């Protein structure tokens, strides 16, 4: 069961998700060990595989560094659920096959520590702790296609093969 880590913050930026001092590598395990470090030094210790980050507006603003997504993936974060996302980060998520879930009022609907389960196909978050179901805006079809193909490059490869 995935646990929610709620940050009642807008504009959580790529410098907080993965500080630039660690951009001298693209090794995912190493990036993951510093995931969210400048926002919450305890994050990496408490995050279990599949856990989700919940935040406010404009998550992932700032740099185009895909390292931010790789750090989250490497830390085995299941998904980020936020009111909305910064443009490049959102695109990078899809390209890497990682789910950015847009949910208005995310930090009000989910509390820190809530046990949640996400049905990506149906577009539903089951909040087991609060015993309620929250539906979210599903990704556009083309984005789901890219994620299902395992990211943009696999998608392109498949296109070439077809």
Partner 1 sequence: MSMTITEKILAAAAGKNKVEPGDLIDAKIDCIMCHDVTTPAAISMLKEKGIDKVFDNEKIVVTPDHFQPAKDIKSAELHKRLDSWAREKKIKNYYPLGKAGVCHALLPEQGHIRPGEVIIGGDSHTCTYGAFAAFSTGIGSTDLAAAIATGTLWFRIPASIKFVLNGKLSKGVYSKDVILAVIAKIGTDGALYKSMEFVGPTLKEMSMEARMTITNMAIEAGAKNGIIGFDDITKKYLDEHLKDKKAYKVYESDKDAKYEQVIEIDCSKLEPIVALPSLPSGGKPISQCAGMKMDQSYIGSCTNGRIEDLRIAAAIMKGEKVSIRTIIVPATPEIWKQAMDEGLFDIFYAAGCVISAPTCGACLGGFMGILAAGEKCVSTTNRNFVGRMGSPKSEVYLASPATAAASAVEGKLTDCRGYL
The residues that touch partner 1, with contacts defined as CB under 8 A, are: 10-11, 13, 15-16, 19-21, 23-26, 38-39, 57-58, 61-67, 69, 84, 86-88, 91-92, 95-96, 142, 151-154, 156-157, 160
Instruction: Give the number of other CB atoms < 10 A from CB of residue 25.
Output: 10
Minimum Å distance from CB 46 to partner 1? 18
Minimum Å distance from CB 14 to partner 1? 8
Q: Tell me if 4 sits within 8 A of 47, measured CB to CB.
A: no
Tokens at 68, concatenated: 């931010």
3-class SS letters over 59-82: ECECCCCCHHHHHHHHCCCCEEEE
Minimum Å distance from CB 130 to partner 1? 28
Nearer to partner 1, 92 or 118 (CB): 92
Nearer to partner 1, 6 or 63 (CB): 63
Q: Tell me if 79 sits within 8 A of 98, measured CB to CB.
A: yes
What residues contact 142, with CB distance under 8 A and at least 6 apart? none
Nearer to partner 1, 10 or 117 (CB): 10
Nearer to partner 1, 88 or 144 (CB): 88
């Amino acid at each position: 069961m995935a646990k929610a880590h709620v940050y009642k913050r807008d504009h959580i930026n790529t410098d907080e998700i993965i500080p630039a001092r660690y951009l001298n590598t693209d090794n995912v395990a190493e990036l993951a060990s510093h995931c969210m470090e400048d926002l919450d030094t305890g994050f990496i210790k408490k995050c279990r595989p599949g856990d989700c980050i919940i935040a406010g507006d404009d998550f992932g603003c700032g740099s185009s560094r895909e390292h931010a997504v790789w750090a989250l993936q490497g830390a085995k974060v299941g998904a980020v659920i936020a009111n909305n996302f910064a443009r490049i980060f959102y695109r990078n998520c899809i390209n890497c096959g990682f789910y950015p879930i847009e949910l208005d009022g995310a930090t009000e609907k989910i509390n820190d520590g809530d046990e949640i389960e996400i049905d990506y196909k149906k577009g539903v978050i089951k909040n087991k702790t609060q015993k309620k179901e929250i539906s979210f805006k599903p990704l556009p079809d083309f984005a789901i296609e890219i994620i299902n193909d395992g990211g943009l490059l696999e998608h392109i490869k498949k296109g070439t093969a077809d």
